[in-house]
């Protein structure tokens, strides 16, 4: 058996939101899919440990905001690698309260839907919530982010983009620029690619990153990075 076969399944990337009283929470999820068209229903698969799970279980409503392809990693990190138990994820994010009362993210979002839970399935670590869609709309035209794009391109595994002039400028004895791995989320800082979302140009060694630079995915500081051991 080769479970890598599972990596070939295609997904999108979404913010699934819900509410508790006046409090909102949302999280990144790749498992949002339409289950029937008549009536229109949708399923989401949410980890039982997440605050969003608690909120959906109690409120019986959820929203799903479909992220655009160009969504910055920092934005994804805000919802994906932080817990609503520690921060209010919606504090600095543009959103609106939907018909169900669940929050709909308006930034980096191309469409959304809201649903009322009609069924749920316990699948061990996760719960699949199935909801009847009660509200949905397009926010703007654009391409949705796919899970494959998020992993392959946004996470720095893109083809090298270092401009050749940088290589020519480097003295021959210059130490090879090393990649650094975030010990919190696994993001790899590749000096050849830099971190354009945060204004870091390609060709910037890890050592020369500003002290206040943080992991674009999870927000961890430079001190949480380790040199990547290349095999």
Which positions lie near Fe ion, rule CB under 5 A? 182, 184-185, 187, 215, 217-218, 220
CB of 218 to Fe ion, least distance (A): 3
CB of 181 to Fe ion, least distance (A): 9
CB of 160 to Fe ion, least distance (A): 21
CB of 31 to Fe ion, least distance (A): 22
Residue 59 or 183: the one with the smaller Cβ distance to Fe ion is: 183
CA dist 197 and 67 (Å) reads 16
Residue 52 or 78: the one with the smaller Cβ distance to Fe ion is: 78
Structural contact between residues 130 and 119, judged by C-beta atoms closer than 8 angstroms: yes
The CA–CA distances, whole Å, from 104 to 42, 64, 182, 197 equal: 16, 7, 30, 24
Residue 1 or 229: the one with the smaller Cβ distance to Fe ion is: 229
DSSP code of residue 154: I
Residue 60 or 74: the one with the smaller Cβ distance to Fe ion is: 74
Give the distance from CA 168 to its chain's centroid: 36
Tokens, residue 158: 């893109």
CA dist 51 and 47 (Å) reads 9
């Amino acid at each position: 058996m080769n479970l890598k076969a599972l990596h070939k399944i295609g997904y999108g990337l979404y913010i699934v939101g819900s509410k508790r009283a006046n409090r909102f929470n949302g999280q990144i999820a790749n498992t949002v899919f339409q289950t029937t068209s008549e009536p229109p229903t949708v399923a989401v698969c949410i980890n039982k440990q997440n605050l969003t799970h608690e909120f959906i279980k109690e409120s019986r409503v959820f929203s799903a905001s479909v992220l655009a392809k160009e969504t910055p990693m920092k934005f994804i990190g805000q919802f994906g690698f932080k817990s609503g138990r520690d921060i209010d994820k919606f504090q600095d994010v543009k959103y609106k309260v939907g018909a169900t009362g669940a929050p709909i993210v308006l930034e980096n979002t191309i469409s959304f839907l809201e649903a009322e839970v009609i069924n749920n399935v316990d699948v061990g670590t996760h719960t699949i919530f199935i909801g009847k869609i009660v509200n949905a709309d397009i926010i703007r035209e654009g391409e949705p982010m796919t899970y494959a794009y998020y992993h392959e391109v946004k996470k720095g595994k893109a083809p090298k983009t270092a401009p050749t002039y940088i290589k020519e400028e480097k003295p021959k004895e210059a130490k090879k620029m090393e990649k650094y791995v975030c010990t919190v989320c696994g993001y790899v800082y590749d000096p050849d690619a830099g971190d354009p979302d945060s204004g870091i140009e390609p060709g910037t060694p890890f050592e020369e990153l500003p002290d206040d630079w943080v992991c674009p995915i999870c927000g961890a500081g430079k001190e949480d990075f380790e040199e990547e051991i290349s095999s």
